[in-house]
């Protein structure tokens, strides 16, 4: 298993990850508190898609005492947006709606340029604005959502990044990110830029604002640095809530990745491609229909079942029925894939319409210097 902010591969053991990263599982009582504050539950919480956190209890203490928090998340524009990217954003929208929270959304064209071999800055900036359409399409509140592309908002971020960078030694950065002598210095400085938005709401409002970061667990190393130095800067430590990865179509030992188009459903894919890709997805069913009817399948490894569970079938009763029937062999892989394909196509048809409309709304959402 390898999980860093830039690489995720192998079979992911989430228990081991929480231990290695030093994060906490979301316990039942904490889940109860979050649901109570939100006024309802969310299936991504009860199904442990969001499973781990830092200081969520602290954040709720503050909230219960009447202190409003802000949300911070982001996107590294190295390619087109796919379903795996949308998963935490769908949950982020729920958090915004339930808590009436401002959302700060960082698009890191600079990061993808310095970190990735062979990607030019012009291309990452172009991808940044294209990816923004997917964010807007999800329906975030234009009055409470502030999206910024790093290279077009750097004047504001830079002052905070400098405060962070000055207090972060190379030895800490090496320990957190595994930098060595061959790492380019754009990359070694870069974590200060991802740390900056942790303090941006406080900086802009000139008062301390608690911040909650919903993001996949691979981003957690980034939060160690701002959490370490926050007290020295007089800011709150950012709190975080972490999700698991949506598996790639090839199976649960890989996450969905733009660099492997066959493992990935992009937000701009057409219905026929979606159907084809899902039909080819990894199956947890029997090798033959006869074997499947006799022995049943495994919904925990079946990709179509997992997509329904983690993202596309919020109804607990329906999920239970599908899983039970799949386990018993009454429902085949093909049938589950049909159910999923219909859901994904319906979702994407709507999404693509809103994505077009988003082109006219950019100004309402973007922060620029
Ligand atoms: N580093 C992230 C990526 O490569 C982008 C990012 C910036 C981000 N700030 C964030 C992701 C905050 C989650 C939360 O995708």
Domains of the chain: residue spans and CATH: 2-248 (3.40.50.620), 256-356 (1.10.240.10)
The token pair at 364 is 């309402």
CB 258 within 8 A of CB 80: yes
Q: Atom 9 (ligand 1): residue with closest C-alpha?
A: 74
Bridge partners, 149 (sequence order): 107
How far apart CA 98 and CA 86 sit, in angstroms, is 18
| 213 Cβ inside 6 Å of ligand 1 | yes
Output the CA 78–ligand 1 centroid distance in Å. 11
Helix, strand counts (H, E) of the chain: 18, 11
Average pLDDT estimate for 268-273: 97
The first and second tokens of residue 25, run together, are 């599982």
Give ∠ CA 156-232-170 in degrees, rounded to 5: 80
Task: Using the mean position of ligand 1's atoms as its centre, give its distance from the Cα of residue 35 in Å.
Answer: 26
Q: Residue 293 C-alpha to ligand 1 middle, in angstroms?
A: 44
Show Cβ contacts of residue 108 under 8 Å, excluding neighbours closer than 6 positions: 74, 75, 76, 77, 128, 150, 193, 194
Which residues are CB-neighbours of 165 under 8 A, at least 6 positions away?
Answer: 189, 192
What is residue 252's predicted lDDT score, i.e. its pLDDT? 61
Residue 320 has pLDDT above 70, yes or no: yes
DSSP 246-272: PEETTEEEEE--TT-GGG--BTT--HH
Mean pLDDT of 128-140: 98
State how far the Cα of 127 lies from the Cα of 212, in Å rounded to an integer.
26
What is the band of 8 on the pLDDT scale with cuts at 50, 70, 90?
confident
Mean pLDDT of 235-247: 96
DSSP 177-207: H---TTS-HHHHHTHHHHHHHHHHHHHHHTS
Q: Is 5 in the pocket of ligand 1 (CB under 6 A)?
A: yes
Q: Give the model's pLDDT for residue 303.
A: 95
The verdict on the CB of residue 74 being under 6 Å from ligand 1 is yes
Ligand 1 pocket member 81 (CB < 6 A): no
Task: Indicate if ligand 1 lies below 6 Å from the C-beta of 92.
Answer: no
Q: What is the pLDDT of residue 66?
A: 96
Q: Encoding tokens for residue 255? A: 């996450």
Q: Is the pLDDT reported for residue 253 higher than 80? A: no
Q: Exposure pattern of 238-254 as b/e (b: 16+ CB <10 Å)? A: bbbbbbbbbbbbbbbeb
Cβ 131 under 6 angstroms from ligand 1: no
Of 6, 79, 91, 108, best ligand 1 pocket probe by most atoms within 8 Å of the beta carbon: 108
Tens-digit pLDDT profile for residues 184-197: 999 999 999 999 99
Over 90: is that where the pLDDT of 263 sits? no
Please tell me the distance from the alpha carbon of residue 33 to that of residue 115, in angstroms, as a whole number.
39
Q: What is the mean pLDDT of the chain?
A: 95
Six-digit token string for 188: 């070694």
Average the pLDDT over 294-300 and give the result. Answer: 94
Q: Does residue 51 carry a pLDDT above 80?
A: yes
Measure 73 CA to ligand 1 centroid, in angstroms.
6
What's the rounded mean pLDDT across residues 79-104? 97
**Measured distance CA(102)–CA(35) in Å, rounded:** 19
**How far is the C-alpha of 161 from the C-alpha of 213, rounded, in Å?**
18
Cite the beta strand spans of the chain per DSSP E. Answer: 2-4, 7-9, 24-25, 50-54, 70-75, 103-107, 145-149, 211-216, 239-243, 247-248, 251-255
Atom 4 in ligand 1: residue holding the nearest Cα: 76
Residue 360 CA to residue 362 CA, distance in Å, equals: 6
Which residue is closest in CA terms to ligand 1's atom 8?
74
Is 215 close to ligand 1, i.e. is its CB under 6 Å away? yes
pLDDT-based confidence at 277, cuts 50/70/90? very high
Task: Assess whether pLDDT exceeds 70 at residue 228.
Answer: yes
Residue 337 CA to ligand 1 centre (angstroms): 31
> In the structure, what pLDDT confidence band is assigned to residue 71 with cuts at 50, 70 and 90?
very high
Mean pLDDT throughout 278-288? 91
Q: Burial code of 283-310, b = ≥16 C-beta within 10 A, e = fewer?
A: bbbbeeeeebeeebbebebbbbbbbbbb
pTM: 0.97
- Mean pLDDT for 46-57 is 98
Q: Determine whether the shortest distance from the Cβ of 194 to ligand 1 is under 6 A.
A: yes
Ligand 1 atom closest to residue 214's alpha carbon, by position in its atom list: 14
């Amino acid at each position: 298993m390898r999980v860093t902010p830039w690489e995720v591969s192998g079979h992911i053991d989430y228990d081991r990850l929480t231990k290695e990263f030093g994060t906490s599982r979301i316990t039942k009582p904490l889940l109860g508190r979050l649901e109570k504050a939100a006024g309802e539950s969310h299936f991504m919480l009860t199904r442990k898609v969001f499973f781990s956190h830092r200081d969520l209890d602290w954040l709720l203490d503050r909230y219960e005492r009447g202190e409003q928090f802000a949300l911070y998340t982001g996107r590294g524009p190295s390619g087109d947006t796919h379903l795996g990217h949308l998963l935490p954003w769908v949950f982020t929208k729920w958090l915004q709606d339930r808590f009436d929270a401002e959302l700060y959304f960082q698009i890191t064209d600079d990061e993808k340029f310095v970190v990735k071999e062979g990607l030019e800055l012009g291309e990452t900036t172009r991808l940044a604005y294209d990816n923004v359409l997917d964010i807007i399409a999800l329906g975030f509140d234009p009055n409470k959502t502030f999206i910024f592309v790093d290279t077009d908002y750097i004047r504001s971020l830079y002052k905070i990044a400098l405060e962070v960078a000055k207090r972060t030694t190379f030895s800490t950065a090496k320990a957190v990110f595994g930098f060595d002598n061959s790492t380019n210095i754009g990359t070694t400085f870069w974590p200060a830029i991802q740390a900056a938005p942790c303090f941006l709401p406080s900086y802009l409002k000139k008062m301390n604002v608690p911040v909650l970061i919903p993001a996949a667990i691979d981003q957690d190393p980034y939060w160690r640095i701002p959490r370490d130095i926050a007290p020295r800067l007089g800011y709150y430590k950012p709190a975080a809530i972490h999700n698991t990865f949506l598996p790639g179509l090839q199976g649960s030992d890989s996450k969905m990745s733009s660099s492997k188009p066959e493992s990935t459903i992009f937000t701009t894919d057409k219905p026929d491609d979606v159907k084809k890709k899902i039909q080819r997805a990894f199956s947890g069913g029997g090798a033959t229909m006869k074997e499947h009817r006799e022995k049943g399948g495994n919904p925990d490894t079946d990709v179509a079942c997992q997509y329904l569970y983690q993202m596309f079938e919020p109804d607990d009763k329906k999920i239970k029925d599908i899983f039970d029937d799949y386990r018993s062999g009454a429902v085949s892989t093909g049938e589950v894939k049909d159910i999923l394909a219909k859901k994904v196509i319906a979702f994407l048809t709507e999404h693509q319409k809103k994505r077009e409309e988003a082109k006219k709304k950019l100004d309402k959402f973007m922060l620029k210097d």
